[in-house]
Chains A and B, each alone.
Chain A
């Protein structure tokens, strides 16, 4: 089976930085995804890493280390609208059938 772990909850202050860690043990690896999900809404794509290193996209960055089975999502200059659940997902194969972690609920406080 697939095992994907991420913290349940994190709280941070508006304007600060938060790092959400994700570790995985899967039967194969064809990429790691981060999705954002606001309460009651559909998940929306944030990032995709398939090679080691850091991918930066505006205020959001995602890092991958395949040898360590580890990724993180870095959210900078936090805004209230960033309060949401952040989902780490791994595609073990090329069919992109995703295995998800339970999600990390981030609460941004003023």
Chain B
């Protein structure tokens, strides 16, 4: 079946602009995660959605970052007033209730100029 998909695959934006990154999880997966991967660093947790529960936003680095998940499926990560330090690869992952394995999408490479 289809895996996790993300769009766009690459995004170049000017500092101060807003961007939206999209994630389509695997059908039937109730859990969805956003991570980001900066050059030379490990994946950093951003936000977690589980079913209809309130999202866990504890990893969002600032209030410029927000995310939503509509209908328990597609998720959008929005970064407002982008800064150069936001440049990274943003990865989305989804998981069934069990087992525990997270399936990752190919990521969106964001470059803020």
Contacts and interface: CB of A to CB of B under 8 A. Distances in A.
Are the chains A and B members of one assembly?
A: yes
Contacts, number: 53
Contact of A42 (B31, B44, B100, B106): B106
Interface residues of A, number: 22
- Secondary structure of the A contact surface, majority rule: loop
A35 B91 CA distance: 14
A97 B32 CA distance: 10
Interface in B55-113: 56, 59, 91, 95, 99-107
A43 B43 contact: yes
Contacts of B103: 45
Interface of B: 4, 31, 33, 35, 40-45, 48, 50, 56, 59, 91, 95, 99-107
Contacts of B102: 45, 96, 98
A87 interface: yes
Contact of B42 (A31, A48, A91, A100): A100
A43 to B, nearest CB: 5
A48 B50 contact: no
A97 B41 contact: no
B104 A44 contact: yes
Given A95-B50, A98-B33, A98-B43, 12 more contacts: A41-B106, A42-B91, A42-B104, A42-B106, A42-B107, A48-B99, A87-B42, A95-B31, A98-B102, A100-B35, A100-B43, A102-B41
